[in-house]
Amino acid sequence: MSASRYIQQLLMAPVLRRNRKFSGIHKGETCYIIGNGASLKSMDLSCFDDKLTIGMNFLCVHNQFAQLNAPYYVITAPKFLYPVYENPYTGKLQLSPTIQAFKKAIRKFPEINLFTSISNIFGYAAPRHNYYLHHFGRREPDASLCDMSGIFSFMKGGLYAGIGTAIYMGFQKVMLVGCDYLFTPVQENHFYGAGRAETLGKTQNIYASLLNEASQFMDISLVTDTNISQWLPYEKYEDLTGRKLAYRENTDLVDREYLDYFDQAYKKGMYLTPIYDEGVAV
C-alpha cells in the first residue's frame, strides 16, 4: 500500500469504524435489494414488505417506498450530496435538480441508515444515520475486500454497494427487484422515466464479476416482470406474489414535485430519458 493510501486509511478510520456495528447483523437472513428499473412500474411494492429491503439510488421517491421494510439505503456516487454535481455526460459542473429530489425524499425517512461515499461527508442528507464507505483505490469487487469499516471494494454503483452491504451484514440470500440490467435481453429506463422499458438487445452481463464474487457468500436470485435472465435464477413477479402485473406510468408512482426535478435534470442534459411524454403538455 502506498504511503498516501495508508495516511488516508488512518485519517478515515474513526468515521469508517462506525460501520462495525453492522457486521453480521443479519446472519442467515434473506433480504430484497430493490433498484430503479422500469419493471417496477408493473409491480406493487407492498408485496415486498415481508423481508428487509436495501434500497438504492432514487427508490425513495417512489410513492410506495414507505410500505417497504427498508432500514438500509445505498447511494454511492462520489460528491453526490452537494448542490453542484458533475454532469456525467458533459463533464461540466452544474446545479443538480436530482440531488434536491433525493434529499427531500430521503428526509421523510429519518431512521434509515444511509450508506454513501465518504466524499459526501460534508453533503447534508440525514446526518444522524449517515454512514460512509471508501474503496481506497480498489474499485473492482473483491470478496476479500468487503469491509464496510475499512476497504470496501463494492463501490462501482448502487447494485455493487447493495450486494456488498448484504455480504457484510451476513445475509444468506438476496432477491433482486427492479434490477433490469440483469434481464435477458437487457432492459433500460427507470420507474421515474416516461414510458415503458426499452429493450437494448445486449447479451453481455455487465455484472459478471460482481455476481461471481458475491456468490461465494450468498444465493442471489432475480424477480422479473415478464422477462427471463440467463445469468441468475429468476422468478416472475406473478408467480412469486400471486398478484397480476398492472402497469402504471411514472406520474402514478412519483409525486409531481419530484418528477419536475428529474425533468429539469433531463432538460440540462444530466439525464437522458424524458420524464414527461414529450408529445403531451404538462
- In words, the CATH class of domain 29-267 is alpha beta
Q: Which of 73, 68, 61, 60 is nearest to 44 (CA)?
A: 68
| Segments making up each domain of the chain, as ranges | 29-267
pTM: 0.94
Cα(183)–Cα(201) distance, integer angstroms: 10
Q: Which strand (E) or helix (H) includes residue 14?
A: helix 3-16
pLDDT at 92: 85
| Residues 213, 217, 218, 219, CA torsion sign | positive
**pLDDT block averages, 10 residues each, the chain of length 282:** 69 90 98 98 98 98 98 94 86 90 94 95 79 94 96 96 98 98 93 92 87 96 95 97 97 98 94 79 43
pLDDT at 151: 95
Beta bridge partners of 133: 117
